[in-house]
Amino acid sequence: MNQSYSTNPDVLCLSHLRWDFVFQRPQHLMSRFAKRQRVFFFEEPVRGTDSKISLQARKCPATGVEVLTPHVPAASTAVQNSAVADLLSEFLDRHGVRNPIAWFYTPMALEYFSKTPHASLIVYDCMDELSLFRNAPPLLRDREQHLLRIADLVFTGGVSLFEHKRTLHPHVHAFPSGVDVKHFAQARSMDRNAQEHAGIARPRIGYAGVIDERIDLGLIRDAAALRPDWQFVMIGPVVKIDPGTLPQAANIHWLGMKKYETLPAYFAGWDVAMMPFALNDATRFISPTKTPEYLSAGLPVISTAIRDVVRPYGELGLVRIVHDPHEFVVAAEQSMRFGMSLKWRERADAFLETLSWDAVWGDMNSLIENHLQLRRGVAIEAISSAQEVGHV
């Protein structure tokens, strides 16, 4: 990571997730790229009442990532999209961005990429099967097919998603999300935990993450009803679902979104961590990032039968897999009664050593550099051949 900016292409990341949203895969990876090259993180447009189309730029002081946010009128049109593409192109030209690595999290961003400089490499980091999410754009599948045609590398956010995409591109690589073990391991030795826990009795069973159509709200409601003396702590933003549908009970606590830096303090106050995912189209290929984060915090973990959790975490005995509220209650009782043995912690820690974000970023970057070197080699060979022809 000590190479100079001048020797590494700039990175233009085009994302459907906002930089200040839940700190997850895009933020972890782009923060690491920003240690050695310029990174421009282009968010999807913010739609408002102002008729003027503009592009706001700000630098994240903690990482050095430059966040670009287009602002457009409420109604989206092809003309507006073209205008945003012009603004992005003008910004990159003004800042001397030449031949960047174009890094896509959503195929829908192709409409904003059409006027940018020629990319030195195109990466599609497919962290979710977005076409199966609620309110997915009708054009998403067609756009993804186009992105797969032009991409040089395709990364997937889990093994099941890799198996789903592997036949669609010659260079697909599985990269389940990593974990900052040191950050979350703080929870194991914290004497004090989050202040919000002061009014919440124990035992506490917690979840941290986005709360949307992927969460089995019925499971939470029924488990809380079965054990009214247990406290269910839910951390994270509510998106794409009506907040009015969230189950309400004296022992269910909706605490909202928290900063990444504060999560260990919350985890330190929990007795069990849960991943109450519904088994539906939106969760068919997910690989939850919370699994290794909970384990790093030293928490026993309960999850529904998400494929990328069952394999490997369930098979290794690191996560208890449940299928209904009654199984959930039994698993939680076992977790709280028997705790997690030293042997379990040693197994979990040994597995977590393979999942650091530094390792994930390093392996991705090796593939990127290999492709860039291959391209440079082909370009040099072509120039040499042309020069030889010119001397004949």
CA distance 380 to 385: 9
Closest by CA position to 19, among listed 69, 72, 92 = 69
Is 304 in contact with 321 (CB distance < 8 Å)? yes
What pTM value is reported for the model? 0.89
CA distance 326 to 226: 8
DSSP codes joined into one string, 279-343: -SGGGTT---THHHHHHHTT--EEEE--HHHIIIIITTTSSEEESSHHHHHHHHHHHHHH---HH
Structural domains in the chain, sorted by start: 5-178+356-387 (3.40.50.2000), 181-352 (3.40.50.2000)
Whether the ω angle into residue 312 lies within 30 degrees of 0, i.e. cis, is yes
Residues 6+ apart with CB under 8 A from 107: 124, 130, 140, 143, 144, 146, 147
| 121, containing H or E segment | strand 121-126
Q: What is the pLDDT along the chain (392 residues), one digit of tens a residue?
A: 333 344 789 999 999 999 999 999 999 999 999 999 999 999 999 988 777 899 999 999 999 999 999 999 877 778 888 999 999 999 999 999 999 999 999 999 999 998 887 899 999 999 999 999 988 889 999 999 999 999 999 999 999 999 999 999 999 999 998 999 999 999 999 988 899 999 999 999 999 999 999 999 999 999 999 999 999 999 999 999 999 999 999 999 999 999 999 999 999 999 999 999 999 999 999 999 999 999 999 999 999 999 999 999 999 999 999 999 999 999 999 999 887 778 888 889 999 988 999 999 999 999 999 999 988 766 455 444 444 545 44
CA distance 337 to 376: 60
